[in-house]
Amino acid sequence: MAAPEERDLTQEQTEKLLQFQDLTGIESMDQCRHTLEQHNWNIEAAVQDRLNEQEGVPSVFNPPPSRPLQVNTADHRIYSYVVSRPQPRALNDAKRELRFLLVYLHGDDHQDSDEFCRTTLCAPEVISLINTRMLFWACSTNKPEGYRVSQALRENTYPFLAMIMLKDRRMTVVGRLEGLIQPDDLINQLTFIMDANQTYLVSERLEREERNQTQVLRQQQDEAYLASLRADQEKERKKREERERKRRKEEEVQQQKLAEERRRRNLQEEKERKLECLPPEPSPDDPESVKIIFKLPNDSRVERRFHFSQSLTVIHDFLFSLKESPEKFQIEANFPRRVLPCTPSEEWPNPPTLQEAGLSHTEVLFVQDLTDE
């Protein structure tokens, strides 16, 4: 049967209640339930708060008179000495987000500090205003950081509140509230201060948007310029490659031309050497002479006498020395049709003589062009 303090709880709440009791070691189920209800049944927050109390850190629901209560903002940023969030960070957040920053300096020994924390600062309507319209930072002046802020703000009495915002490009105190004040009066005065200075935040916000737009526009222009520059560089690269390709092509053509000229020059020199090395032509009345008529590929005819004892190589050298002869050729006889072995080969390392080749005193030989083969 369920214990009286566990009545009207859901199954999930009952499990959290038992888990919280097991984690904290609190014997009283009523105290466990009360703590969880204060934390809206958030077991992690309740356990952390319990651990904070055990370590001497004030509970957000049970602060000692000598310290200010912690105020949680809607976005869960807590600017207070409890979590050691430095004041410069709060200023930077307010400046970056263009929001009001409410600074509370707590005088531990002042007679009104405890009442202000309990009745004013923790009033639901005050918390709602802080949550929705500003950032909040609080610290005791007995703390080093609180003392430094106190020296900068120069408060006269406590409780002390200062409203800070970005005005004319610098963080400026635009409102100061000193002494005990009731929740409604605090809300009215804070609202008045914010309404009176809202135009500065709006103006700054518009300027930031304009700067952002200018920056975006400049960035777009830079990107467009870089894209255009890359396109021009790519065009120039292609032009260079095309010029280099043409240069190499022209150089290759020139090399081919020079090579062809060298080849023709060497060929002509070789023809001249062959012509100089030819033996004298026999006389017509020499019984050992052979009259040969050569039919060239261009249908022209050339006639010359050779000696029966001469090698067929002499015939080849004679034809090679002629200007109208092809560079590569073979010599064919018609009856019987055959190719004369005029140059050394595997079959004929030493070409035969005209007599050995079976030539008669008068012959007609055909020159076959082999240049393209």
Q: How far apart are CA 164 and CA 101, in angstroms?
A: 5
C-beta separation of 117 from 158 below 8 A: no
Q: Average pLDDT, stretch 161-170?
A: 90
C-beta separation of 284 from 305 below 8 A: yes
C-beta separation of 108 from 101 below 8 A: no
For residue 364, what are the β-bridge partners?
293
CATH topology of domain 87-213: Glutaredoxin (3.40.30)
In the numeric block, the tokens 């030989």 are attached to 365
The domains of the chain are located at 18-49, 87-213, 289-369
Q: What is the CATH number of domain 289-369?
A: 3.10.20.90
pLDDT tier at 52 (50, 70, 90 boundaries)? Answer: low
Q: Average pLDDT, stretch 64-72?
A: 40
Alpha helices in the chain (DSSP H): 11-24, 29-38, 43-54, 87-97, 113-115, 124-133, 144-153, 183-277, 312-321
Q: How far apart are CA 22 and CA 121, in angstroms?
A: 34
Which of the listed CATH numbers 3.30.200.20, 3.50.50.60, 1.10.8.10, 2.40.10.500 matches domain 18-49?
1.10.8.10
The radius of gyration of the chain's CA atoms, rounded to the nearest angstrom, is: 57
Q: Average pLDDT, stretch 110-132?
A: 89
Single-letter amino acid, residue 225? Y
pLDDT tier at 316 (50, 70, 90 boundaries)? Answer: very high
* CA 70 centroid distance within chain: 46
End-to-end CA distance of the chain: 114
The two beta strands, 289-295 and 301-307, are antiparallel
Residue in 103, 80, 105, 79 with CA at minimum distance from that of residue 157: 105
Say which residues have a Cβ less than 8 Å from residue 116's Cβ, sequence separation at least 6: 158, 159, 180, 181
Q: How far apart are CA 98 and CA 165, in angstroms?
A: 7
Question: Is the predicted pLDDT of residue 62 greater than 70, yes or no?
Answer: no
pLDDT for residue 5: 43
pLDDT for residue 143: 86
DSSP structure class, residue 70? P
Residues 243-282: pLDDT tens digits? Answer: 999 999 999 999 999 998 998 899 888 888 988 889 999 9
pTM, two decimals, is: 0.44
DSSP structure class, residue 121? I
pLDDT for residue 373: 66
C-beta separation of 319 from 294 below 8 A: yes
Question: Is the predicted pLDDT of residue 352 greater than 90, yes or no?
Answer: yes
Q: Average pLDDT, stretch 2-27?
A: 74
